[in-house]
Amino acid sequence: MPPVVIADASPLIGLAKIGRLALLGQLYQRVLIPPAVHAELQAGSQRPGGVELLQALDEGWLTVADSADIPEAARAELKQVLDAGEAEAIVLALHLPARLLLIDEQRGRAVAQLKGVPIAGTGVVLLAAKRLGYIENVTSELEALHQSGYRLSARLRRELAAMAGE
């Protein structure tokens, strides 16, 4: 199996809320989520982004991992310090040939880095999308995320805009 991108819920929800979830399919072709993240997403619900998430699952570029791919002992260990979705996403990234883990929560990012898992956040996704011509402006996408209630500090938004040359 070629390396895949594994995602926690927050980047998926944030991108879905602003109508940019499809960027993940364009950038990575295949994104895998653990069962706990799938439960968190409530794909198909009336929540903002629910329809987009269900569509991504139907299109097949967003898929749900088999719970057998997530060793229970490792999951239980991480669930002592993280929520179920973050714990499963990190364990999945450790046990499959993962190219990258998309995760935004600070504690989850810190644990993933300690375990040697390569990580990226929603901002990096937007930077890659601009570099490849899928979006024109990172700043406007960051503002849309902020307006949708997604937590991104003003400092981080400025840093990402600077990295995008905006």
What pLDDT is stored for residue 69 in this prediction?
A: 80
State what percent of residues in the chain have pLDDT above 70.
96
Task: Summarize pLDDT for 105-132 with one digit per residue, the tens.
Answer: 999 999 999 999 999 999 999 999 999 9
3-state per-residue secondary structure call for the chain: CCCEEEECHHHHHHHHHCCCCHHHHHHHCCEEECHHHHHHHCCCCCCCCHHHHHHHHHHCCEEECCHHHCCHHHHHHHCCCCCHHHHHHHHHHHHCCEEEEECCCHHHHHHHHHCCCCEECHHHHHHHHHHCCCCCCHHHHHHHHHHCCCCCCHHHHHHHHHHCCC
Query: Higher pLDDT residue, 71 or 162?
Result: 162
- pTM exceeds 0.75: yes
Residue 77 has pLDDT above 80, yes or no: yes
Tell which CATH architecture fits domain 4-137.
3-Layer(aba) Sandwich (3.40)
